[in-house]
Amino acid sequence: MPCIDHCVRVDLRTVSFDVPPQEVLTKDSVTVSVDAVVYYRIKEPLSAVIEIANYSHSTRLLAASTLRTVLGTRNLAEILSERETISHTMQTALDEATDPWGVKVERVEIKDVRLPVQLQRAMAAEAEAAREARAKVIAAEGEMRASHSLKEAGDVISTSTAALQLRYLQTLNNVCGEKNSTIIFPLPVEFLAPLLAPSAHGNQGTARPALS
């Protein structure tokens, strides 16, 4: 009716707004700065006009407080690794709170998590220490495997005369390959055994009988 009613236009399209960075104290007492973006639409225009004076401004304020509340129940590791879960939790809480206003919160996305500079340096140092520790473990495992291989090779060589002789000849070959004028090397008794055996048999064959 003229002079009594007035027309209010309500946009039924999905709109979005940015939640300003919020300083939040996490469950493990770390101060972080987090911002987000919220997507919503009006599902009940009459409720949006009658039940709340300014649904847009009220939704923005509620989104900021909900962000602080939800993040305050999580520790830093969860905030960094479970953004999707936190976004869903925040979307559900916002949607329930704004339902009487005729507002439908469709989606919430955590945009950025900013850490204090000192904490960033500490985390970088911790990551570097973890990498160095892993490198040392890998090197130690490699040395252990190499020592086991050397032990097995030593056991094989010590129990096999042929392997010992082959190793000896390889060593002589490496030494002879160097530019040395004089080479002195020991000769194992095992190498002389085949040469001494015929001589010993020959001496036994030519031995003179003892005179009575």
Tell me the C-alpha distance between 29 and 16, whole Å. 31
Model confidence at 108: pLDDT above 50: yes
Q: Look at the block and give the residue holding tokens 């225009």.
A: 45
112 in helix, strand or coil? strand
Task: Report how far apart, in Å, the C-alpha atoms of 39 and of each of 13, 42, 63, 105 are.
Answer: 10, 11, 11, 6
Dihedral angle, C-alpha 139, 144, 149, 155, nearest 10 °: 150
pLDDT band of 116, cuts 50, 70, 90: confident
pLDDT band of 212, cuts 50, 70, 90: very low
Residue 44 lies in a domain: yes
pLDDT band of 211, cuts 50, 70, 90: very low
Q: What is the CATH number of the domain that holds 34?
A: 3.30.479.30
Residue ranges of E strands in the chain:
15-25, 31-42, 103-114
Residues 6+ apart with CB under 8 A from 125: none
Instruction: Give me the domain span that covers residue 25.
Output: 14-115
**Closest CA relative to residue 39, chosen from 23, 20, 63, 57:** 63
**pTM > 0.95: yes or no:** no
pLDDT band of 105, cuts 50, 70, 90: very high
Residue 76 lies in a domain: yes
Residue 61 lies in a domain: yes
Model confidence at 97: pLDDT above 50: yes
Model confidence at 199: pLDDT above 70: no
Residue 212 lies in a domain: no
Of 11-25, 51-65, 148-162, least confident by mean pLDDT is 148-162
Residues 6+ apart with CB under 8 A from 88: 108
Number of domains within the chain: 1
Residue 172 lies in a domain: no
Model confidence at 96: pLDDT above 90: yes
Residue 132 lies in a domain: no
Residue 102 lies in a domain: yes
